[in-house]
Amino acid sequence: MTESPDRFRVKIETSAGTCEIAVERAWAPLGADRFYALARLGYYDGSRFFRVVAGKWVQFGIAGDPALAQAWRGQTIADDALVQSNRRGFVAFANTGPGTRSTQVFINLGDNSAQNDREAGFAPFGEVVRGMDVAERLYAGYGEGSGGGMRAGGQDGMFAEGNGWLDRNFPLLDRLIGLSLCDS
């Protein structure tokens, strides 16, 4: 895997506006490296914010193209040690247990440290530094129903059919139009 810079920023253009994440490799080196690689690849472009729970989190990271999503689904990385806490605005990879982080990322919309800091794998690698209001505006009406269930197989439709499945079943989800590395 390509090593990321020590610090970099990523701009996320969404259907609700633009936000920016500052990534600190020292906080979670493996997570920062994976996020950097996926950003450079364009993996997240055109996908959906499929799990939005107001006051808790916004999750994205299953490619809209099912072939691309399937190709990355099993490519996991080891856990990073927890250096930062899962407070409002911090960004980490989702997982199904120790050593299972792959492509799915969440933004903490509130202080989730009591829940997420004690479970392995939820080591924040970045923080939203602009546009937190955009993250908070993303459509949350479906809650866990449109993309929760990572551990219980509730995401199989997304992996099998991509955005087509989400658009048919959850048409109000906001879009991640593009994710790009910012110039230093």
Q: Which two tokens stand for residue 31?
A: 């997570």
Ramachandran region of residue 62, left (φ > 0), alpha (ψ -120 to 50) or beta? beta
Token pair belonging to 166:
């989400």
Is the pLDDT at 109 greater than 80? The verdict is yes
Residues 40/48, Cβ–Cβ less than 8 Å: no
Q: How far is CA 89 from CA 23, 70, 86, in A?
A: 12, 29, 8
- The pLDDT confidence band at residue 148, using thresholds 50, 70 and 90, is confident
The reported pLDDT for the residue numbered 152 is 63
pLDDT grade, residue 115 (50/70/90)? confident
Domains in the chain with CATH codes: 7-181 (2.40.100.10)
Residues 7 and 25: their CA atoms lie apart, in Å, by 6
CB distance 40 to 8 below 8 Å: no
Statement: residue 79 has pLDDT above 90: yes
Sheet holding 90-93, edge to edge: 47-48, 175-181, 7-14, 17-24, 126-130, 90-93, 105-108, 57-60, 51-53
Alpha-carbon span 173 to 21, nearest angstrom: 21
Side chain identity at 69, as an amino acid letter? A
